[in-house]
């Protein structure tokens, strides 16, 4: 079976176009009609800089990894036509040592939607029709709000980050940097029973979002008074650094109590003068967090059941033909948090 599909393709820095392609479904996997997708920081990086870190766009690539859709045809009889599904953008190999140990996010040959990590690049989900592995399809109820369900991927990232800190129930939590990811970490920490969730950012708009997403207190990162959180070698059991900014990492180390945990989620460049003495002397556990594993299914459940309401982060939607305008709006951090495309 052959279908024509219109795809949002990036060719390089600030070069996106909609092109017509052919999708061929041979009965293996699941053919999905994509209905909606969220624009993520990595899509924006590819658009604004032509690369994410060292992963550079070297050939046309379909953008997007936060998509939902409906089943057209599947090799799994349980996935009926018209079943709504959130699509897990990760496709691990299933056979490397990490995959065998249920650490699929560390797979040595991960094929993640819309990623230029490998050459040829892995196409993303901003297209009308796509064949995916059946295991990538996570069904959700027909009456769930689709705008909400598009948040499955970023929420999965944040549930994973929260798990990296261990048990959060009754814990005092600090989040530095509350863009969409910081805000969803606040929501995940709340769902996991954190007793206090204090969020800091330089943007008043972001702090307002954080308040709606579960923060018990918000503070201006530049002008706020953090003195009370510095006493007795720090106040918070767990800090999440979600901005990638060197000064934010320093702040997190300062306000985290001795023996506490700092989860690094924000991706930044090099950190000059990393405060390694603070880390050593306070015996802080520093742990990275990258993507997610089984948390994707948890995220779909939490969104479908209303455990987390991500809508304070939703800033608007565009038709897929307007991908250029959508990326420009999404890139304006004064106005936009999460922007979605409809197909």
Give the residues lining the site for Zn ion (CB under 5 A).
40, 66, 92-93, 96, 99, 107, 153-154
Q: How far apart are CA 162 and CA 159, in angstroms?
A: 5
CB-nearer residue toward Zn ion: 156 or 189 = 156
Q: How far apart are CA 265 and CA 283, in angstroms?
A: 20
CB-nearer residue toward Zn ion: 107 or 185 = 107
Instruction: Please report the DSSP string for 205-248 in residue order.
Output: HHHHHHHHHT-SEEEETTT---GGGTGGG-SEEEEEE-S--HHH
CB-nearer residue toward Zn ion: 154 or 310 = 154
Residue 149 C-beta: closest distance to Zn ion, Å: 14
Chain centroid, CA 333 distance in Å:
17
Q: How far apart are CA 94 and CA 245, in angstroms?
A: 35
CB-nearer residue toward Zn ion: 52 or 263 = 52
Q: How far apart are CA 111 and CA 107, in angstroms?
A: 9
**Tokens 């820095």 map to which residue?**
13
How many helices (H) and strands (E) would you count in the chain? Answer: 10, 20
CB-nearer residue toward Zn ion: 70 or 96 = 96
CB-nearer residue toward Zn ion: 99 or 218 = 99
Q: How far apart are CA 192 and CA 341, in angstroms?
A: 30
Residue 99 C-beta: closest distance to Zn ion, Å: 3
**Tokens 């951090």 map to which residue?**
333
């Amino acid at each position: 079976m052959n279908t024509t599909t219109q795809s949002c393709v990036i060719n390089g820095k600030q070069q996106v176009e909609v092109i017509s392609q052919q999708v061929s479904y041979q009965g293996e996997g699941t053919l999905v009609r994509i209905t909606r997708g969220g624009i993520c920081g990595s899509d924006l990086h590819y658009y604004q800089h032509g690369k994410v870190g060292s992963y550079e766009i070297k050939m046309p690539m379909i953008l997007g990894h936060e998509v939902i859709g409906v089943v057209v045809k599947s090799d799994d009889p349980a996935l009926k036509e018209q079943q709504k599904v959130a699509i897990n953008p990760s496709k691990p190999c299933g056979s490397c040592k990490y995959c065998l140990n249920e650490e699929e996010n560390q797979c040595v040959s991960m094929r993640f939607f819309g990623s230029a990590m490998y050459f040829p690049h892995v196409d993303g989900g901003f297209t009308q029709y796509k064949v995916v592995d059946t295991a990538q399809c996570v069904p959700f109820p027909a009456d769930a709000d689709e705008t909400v369900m598009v948040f499955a991927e970023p929420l999965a990232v944040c549930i994973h980050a929260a798990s990296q800190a261990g048990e959060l129930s009754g814990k005092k939590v600090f989040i530095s940097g509350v863009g969409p990811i910081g805000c969803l970490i606040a929501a995940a920490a709340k769902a996991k029973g954190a007793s206090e969730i204090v969020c800091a950012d330089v943007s008043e708009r972001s702090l307002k979002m954080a308040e709606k997403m579960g923060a018990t207190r918000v503070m201006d990162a530049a002008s706020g008074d953090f003195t009370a959180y510095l006493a007795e070698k720090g106040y918070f059991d767990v800090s999440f650094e979600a901005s990638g900014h060197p000064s934010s990492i320093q702040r997190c180390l300062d306000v985290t109590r001795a023996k506490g945990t700092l989860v690094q989620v924000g991706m930044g460049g090099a950190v000059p003068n990393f405060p390694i003495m603070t880390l050593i002397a306070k015996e802080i556990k520093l742990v990275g967090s990258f993507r997610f594993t089984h948390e994707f299914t948890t995220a779909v459940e939490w969104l479908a059941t209303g455990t987390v309401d991500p809508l304070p982060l939703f800033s608007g939607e565009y038709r897929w033909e307007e991908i250029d305008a959508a990326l420009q709006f999404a890139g304006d951090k004064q106005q936009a948090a999460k922007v979605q495309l409809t197909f």
